[in-house]
Amino acid sequence: MKKISTITLGCLFAITSLKAQTFFDTFETYTVTTPLLGVQSPNWRTWSSTVGGGAEDVAVTTTDNHTSAGSKSIYFSSTSATGGPADVVLPFTTGAPLSTGQFTFTSWFKIPTGKNGYFNFQGNATMGNLYTLDCFMTSTGAVNIQNSGSIVATGTHPFGAWFELTIKANLNTNTWELLVNGVSQSVWSNTANQIWGIDLYPNDASSSYWVDDVSYNVAPYTLPALNGALNLIGVSNGLVGQTRNPSITLRNLGVGAINSCTLAISRNGGTPVIQPVTGLTLASLSSTVINIATPFTLTAGPNVFTATVTNVNGLGVDGDNSDNIISKTITPVTAALGKVVVAEEGTGTWCQWCPRGAVFMDAMDTKYAGYFAPIAVHNADPMVVTAYDAAIGTLITGYPSALVDRLPKIDPSGLETDFLTRIVVAPKAFIVNGATYNSSTRVLNVSVKSTIQTAITGNYKVACVLTEDSVKGTGSTYNQSNAYAGGGAGVMGGYELLANPVPAALMKYDHVARFILPNFGGFAATGASAAVGAIFTHTFTFTLPANFNSSKIHIVGLFIDPTGKIDNAGTSTIAQAVSNGFVNGPAGFDVGVAETPFAPDAQVRVFPNPTINHSSINLNLTKSSNVKVSIYSVNGVLVGSKEYGELNGQLTLPVDLTAFSAGMYMVNVTIDGNTTLHKLIKE
C-alpha cells in the first residue's frame, strides 16, 4: 500500500490509509509539452507500459478544460477505424484487484457533436486479460455500459458541454450504478465484479473527447468471521414465453470457509424455489456459481428475481445480513406472432477480427433459438458462395459486418439491439418450410409456404438459403486469422486462448451459407397485391455435395418486402421440414403459385383463447368433409397433428396443450384440402 501523500496547490492529491483511498487529478501540474502524461505522472501509464510513453501516451492540452479555475485537460481522438494509437491507463490499486468494499469513479468529459468517447475498466493488472466493463459514449448521445458484449446499463450525455460521469460499485453485493451529472441512470449487477484500473482509448475514427478532473475513492471492507454473500443472479433477458434457469453466485466474504447453505429464488414475489447447497469447500473471498434446477417462464412486464442465502454452515445467521439478499429485474420482449429474424454476417477465415462475428452469432442462436436465423456469408475463403458474397458485399463495409433483416449494416456485437427491434414487428406472412430428401441421390426438395397475415401491396419476393453447422476443412485456407490471440484485444469467447491463426484442426464453422436460390433479391412471389389468407408456395431443388452433412443443414425461407428488407423467415432442419410435409408447387425453383383463400361451407372457431391447458375447435360443417388439424410453434415447427377423416355437422374437436410450454401456436384446420390458420395462446 502506498504511503499517505499530498501534492499542494489543490491540483493533484492522493490519500491512502487503512480505511480509505482517494485520488484526484486536474492535470494542472503537468507541462503542456513532451514528455507526455504517463511520463510526468507517477500514477498514469500506457497500455503497453512503454518507457518514455511512446505513441500510446497522450498530451496534456489547453484547448479546453472543465473549470475556470484551471486551464488544462487531456484530449483523445483517432483517425483510424480501429482506434488509437493513444491508450492510457490509471491503476486504482498497486496490489490485487479491488473485489470488496465500496468504489466510486468520477470524471468529467466533453464530446463534440456527432463524435463519441470510450473507456473501459480492467479487471486485473494484465492488460486485456479481463474487461470489467466497457463504457461507450456514443455519437447519438447514449451512454452504454457493456459487460461481456451485452449492454447492462444505459444513460444519456450532452454534446459540446462538460458532463460528470460517475460509476459507483458496492463490490460486496455486486451492485453497480451509472450516474450522469449526479443523476442515476441505471443500476445493474456486473458479470466481472472486480476492478484494477481504467483504460482511456479513442476506439474508432469518430472518437473525439476531452477528460478532466479524474477521481476515485475506495472504502475497504473488514471481513467478519462467517459471511455468505450473494454476488450475482445470472438470468438473461429474452422473449415472453422463453424459459430461463437462473444461476446464483455465492461468495465467501468471511474469514472462515463455507461448507453449506440454503438458497432461495423467487420471481415477482411468487413461491420461492428452495435449493439446499452442501459439500462446499468455499475459502475466504472465493466464489461459486450455483445453477437452479427449476426453470422460470418469462412473462410480460418486469420479471423481478430475488435470491436469498440463509443458514450458512447450518448456523442460521451469519456475520453480515446486508449482503444476504440480491435482486435482478429483466423485462422480456413480446415477439410478434410467427416472426423469425434473419442475420447475414460477412466473414472470412482471412479476417483477423471475424472471430467476434462467430462469437456473437453463436450467442444469439443459443439465446433466441427458433426466433433467430443466422447466416454466415463467407468471403475469399473455401466456404464462399460467390453470388451471395458479391451481393452482401455491396451492403457492408469491412469485416465482420452484419445485416439484420437487411437493415443498415452493423458490427456483430450489435446483433441483439437490431434483433429486439425487429422481433416485435408483425410479419406480413407466416413462413413454413417443407421438404423431401433422398439420402441416396442427396436431392433435397424444399417448399416455402407463405401465408399472408396482413393485406399487402407491392412486389414481395421469396428466396431460400441453406446453411451448414460444424463445417471443418484441412489446409491453411481453413485456418482462422485471430486478432484476439493472447488476450491483448480482450476476451472473445475463448479465441483469446487460441493461437493466431487458429489451426484448421481446431476450427468448426457454424451457420455457413451453402446455397441461395434463386439469388440475393429473390423472385416475384405475390404479384401486385395479396389478401389476408392468401397462400403462396414456392419450390426449390438442391443437390447436396458429398462433403455436406445433411444432419447439420438448416433451411431458411426468406420473404422479402418491396424495399429489399426481409419481412419474415422460416427456419428448420431438414428433418423438421420433412416432418412439416412438402407442398407441391410448379416445377422449378423460380416459379410460385398463389392459392386463393377458400370460403367453405364451414365455420371454424378456436375457443377459449387464450387458454391454460385445453381449448376446442368448434366446426359447423354443412357437408361431409375430410378434416385434419395441425399445430405449429411460432417458428413453423409441427408439434402435433391429427387426421379426423370424414366429418359432418356441428362438432367440437379437443385441443390438448398440457404437454406444450407457454407461448403462441398456430392451429391449422384443413377441410377438404383447404386450410385456415388460427392463433392460439397458452398462458
Confidence of residue 454 (pLDDT cuts 50, 70, 90): very high
Q: What are the DSSP E strand ranges found in 238-302? A: 243-244, 247-252, 261-267, 273-277, 287-291, 296-297
CA gap 268, 399 in Å, rounded: 43
User: Between these two residues, 277 and 523, which has the higher pLDDT value?
Assistant: 277
Confidence of residue 71 (pLDDT cuts 50, 70, 90): very high
pLDDT digits (tens, 9 = 90+) for 157-185: 999 999 999 999 999 999 999 999 999 99
Instruction: Kindly report the pTM of this predicted structure.
Output: 0.71
Predicted pLDDT at 622: 80
Confidence of residue 683 (pLDDT cuts 50, 70, 90): confident
Predicted pLDDT at 17: 36
User: Which of 49-53, 124-128, 503-507 is the most confident on average?
Assistant: 503-507
Predicted pLDDT at 675: 66
CA gap 627, 675 in Å, rounded: 10
Q: Walk across the sheet containing 142-147 and list its strands.
A: 45-46, 88-91, 197-200, 117-122, 131-137, 142-147, 150-156
Q: Judge whether 344 and 351 are in contact, CB under 8 Å.
A: no
DSSP 199-247: EE---STTBEEEEEEEEEEEE-----SS-EEEEEEE----BTT-EE--E
pLDDT digits (tens, 9 = 90+) for 206-225: 999 999 999 999 999 999 99
- Domains with residue ranges and CATH for the chain: 5-219 (2.60.120.560), 228-330 (2.60.40.10), 335-426+472-507 (3.40.30.10), 427-466+515-597 (2.60.40.10), 602-682 (2.60.40.1930)
Q: Produce one character per residue of 142-177: b if its CB has 16 or more CB atoms within 10 Å, e if not.
A: ebbbbbbbebbbebebeeeebbbbbbbbbbbbbbbb
User: Between these two residues, 75 and 625, which has the higher pLDDT value?
Assistant: 75
Position 601 pLDDT exceeds 70 = no
Predicted pLDDT at 16: 34
Predicted pLDDT at 662: 82
Predicted pLDDT at 604: 80
Q: Could you identify the residue written with the cell 443458514?
A: 311
Predicted pLDDT at 634: 58
pLDDT digits (tens, 9 = 90+) for 301-323: 999 999 999 999 999 889 999 99
pLDDT digits (tens, 9 = 90+) for 543-596: 999 999 999 999 999 999 999 999 999 999 999 999 999 987 543 333 333 333
CA gap 94, 196 in Å, rounded: 8
